[in-house]
Structure 1
Amino acid sequence: MSHRPQPLPRSHYPRYDTITTRWMDNDAYGHVNNVVYYSFFDTAVNRWLIAAGALDPHAGDVIGLVVETQCRYFAPLSFPQRVEAGLRVAHIGRSSVRYELGLFAEGEPLTAAAGHFVHVYVDRATRRPVALPPALVAALQPLVLPA
């Protein structure tokens, strides 16, 4: 018997960011297109890292490349709507981080979508993996919750 994934509660995520849907996010079926959810994930992570001083996307020596991603959909989102993106860190490795994200319709108790992605941090010039910089590790610590 397979276990069917279930939506997650707000308590699963220690950090939230609000993202407003745009007209162009909707598809022909009247809801946010599935690929846009990945953009929301990327926005939530990078806003946090930039605000925490752990990422300089234009001039930093170290950048994160997405090497794995997944999303599970539970309820539709649409335009116009405010989406609350929950963020947590599930694993910090030597050169990689697994982020877990949940997208909630504003005020809703359970995720409309939940997923993850893995960043491998690399040298901007060589694109070779590097150890996570101390400022990045410090920015990630508040996002780590018990499994």
Structure 2
Amino acid sequence: MKNIEYIQDWTSWSKEFHFHTTTRVRFSEVDPFNHLNNTVPFIYFEDVRIQLFKELGFMQQWGRPDSGTIPVVADLQCNYLKQVFFDEELKLFAKIAHIGTTSIDLHYKAENENGEPVFVGRGRIVHIDKAQGAPVKWTEEMIDQMERLRNSVNI
């Protein structure tokens, strides 16, 4: 595996994923050469991230009209490992790699139907106050939920 700065040991890194979903590459997501467009993995990262936040109960909380906080993507990166083509089914993985005071680092991995990694990524999500746009600490309950999910590697 090529050297990716946020992956120290591929085997242990790969085993730590605690959430996944699947998707099928749509025709609108490929370029004229039938390859997945290089912007689409970021959409897939968003999808698995939202599903992860739903699993944690955060999306329901953030979606309430009286909620004062929301998640914001502070940075996002993708490393492309193999070509992906139209109509391939991908398994999209996400894991909470680090929990900070007001942010978390998420890591992502996509595998093709043969279980081969096709792209990986990472990103920082910041918990902010909607009105002020300033970072807000995670609640103890949110941290507990994230830790429980992180410790329940059961894919």
Match of 1:118 among 115, 124, 148: 124
**1:43-122 matched pairs, under 5 angstroms:** 43-56=47-60, 57-59=62-64, 60-108=67-115, 110-122=116-128
In the TM superposition, residue 133 of structure 1 has moved relative to its aligned partner by 2.7
SS at match of 1:76: coil
| 1:5-56 deviation per Cα after TM superposition (whole angstroms, max 9, x unaligned) | 49x5552422211122221111122111111001101110111111321223
The aligned residue for residue 33 of structure 2 is 29
Between the aligned residues of both structures, percent identity stands at 19
Superposition RMSD on alpha carbons, in Å? Answer: 2.3
2:103 is equivalent to residue 131 of structure 1: no
Please tell me the residue identity of whatever aligns with 2:63.
Answer: H
Contact 2:52 2:94 in 1 (8 A): no
> Cα–Cα, structure 1 residues 113 and 144, in superposed 2: closer, same or farther, change >3 Å?
farther
Contact 1:69 1:116 in 2 (8 A): yes
SS at match of 2:97: strand
In the TM superposition, residue 4 of structure 1 has moved relative to its aligned partner by 3.2
TM-score w.r.t. the length of structure 1 is 0.84
Distance 1:82 1:102 in 2: 14
Contact 2:56 2:146 in 1 (8 A): no
Please tell me the residue identity of whatever aligns with 1:4.
Answer: N
2:15 is equivalent to residue 14 of structure 1: no
Distance 2:18 2:55 in 1: 16
SS at match of 2:39: helix
How many pairs does the alignment contain?
142
In the TM superposition, residue 58 of structure 1 has moved relative to its aligned partner by 3.2
SS at match of 1:120: strand
In the TM superposition, residue 132 of structure 1 has moved relative to its aligned partner by 0.9
In the TM superposition, residue 135 of structure 1 has moved relative to its aligned partner by 4.1
TM-score w.r.t. the length of structure 2 is 0.80
| 1:59-104 deviation per Cα after TM superposition (whole angstroms, max 9, x unaligned) | 3322111111111001112221211011111110000000000011
SS at match of 1:103: strand
